[in-house]
C-alpha cells in the first residue's frame, strides 16, 4: 500500500507541475481531475479560442495493479520520463497508449 500512496503523490505532483507550466492563456483553462479513490488522474484543456470550442484530455494516468498506466500523453514532453526522474522503475510504468504487442519493445512494463 505504501507504494500506491507514493505513486499517487508522484502522479499528482507531475500533473500539477505540468498544469502550472501549461497555464498561459486566460481563455483556455487547464483543469486537473484527481480521483485518488479509483486512481484516475487527468489534465483537461477547456475554453474558447476565438469562436472555436477547446475541450480535450491532455494527460490521462491511472494507477492499477501497483503500476502507473499512462493511458494518454498529449504533451510534447514525455511524461514517463518525469516518473523515471522521481525514481519509479521502468517495470512499474505501462505505456498503455501503445498496443499490448508493441509495449514489449518500449523498455517499459507490458502490463
Can you give the pTM of this predicted structure? Answer: 0.93
CA angle 71, 92, 96 (to 5 degrees): 20
**Nearest alpha-carbon partner for 13 in 64, 72, 59:** 59
Query: Looking at residues 62-68, what average pLDDT do you find?
Result: 97
CA angle 1, 72, 89 (to 5 degrees): 40
85 has a pLDDT exceeding 90: yes
On average, the pLDDT of the chain sits at 95
Query: Looking at residues 93-97, what average pLDDT do you find?
Result: 98
Domains annotated on the chain, with CATH: 2-64+72-90 (3.30.310.110)
106 has a pLDDT exceeding 80: yes
Pairing state between β 67-73 and 93-95: parallel
For residue 59, name the pLDDT band (cuts at 50, 70, 90). Answer: very high
Query: Looking at residues 48-72, what average pLDDT do you find?
Result: 96
For residue 1, name the pLDDT band (cuts at 50, 70, 90). Answer: confident
DSSP alpha helix (H) spans, the chain: 2-22, 79-85, 100-103
For residue 95, name the pLDDT band (cuts at 50, 70, 90). Answer: very high
Q: What digits encode the pLDDT tens for the residues 18-40?
A: 999 877 667 899 999 999 999 99
Three-state SS for 84? helix
Amino acid at each position: 500500500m505504501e507504494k500506491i500512496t507514493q505513486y499517487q503523490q508522484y502522479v499528482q505532483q507531475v500533473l500539477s507541475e505540468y498544469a502550472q507550466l501549461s497555464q498561459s492563456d486566460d481563455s483556455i483553462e487547464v483543469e486537473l481531475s484527481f480521483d485518488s479513490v479509483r486512481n484516475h488522474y487527468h489534465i483537461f484543456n477547456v475554453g474558447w479560442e476565438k469562436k472555436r470550442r477547446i475541450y480535450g484530455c491532455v494527460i490521462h494516468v491511472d494507477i492499477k495493479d501497483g503500476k502507473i498506466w499512462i493511458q494518454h500523453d498529449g504533451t510534447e514532453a514525455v511524461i514517463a520520463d518525469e516518473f523515471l526522474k522521481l525514481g519509479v522503475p521502468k517495470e512499474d510504468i505501462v505505456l498503455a497508449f501503445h498496443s499490448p504487442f508493441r509495449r514489449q519493445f518500449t523498455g517499459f512494463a507490458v502490463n
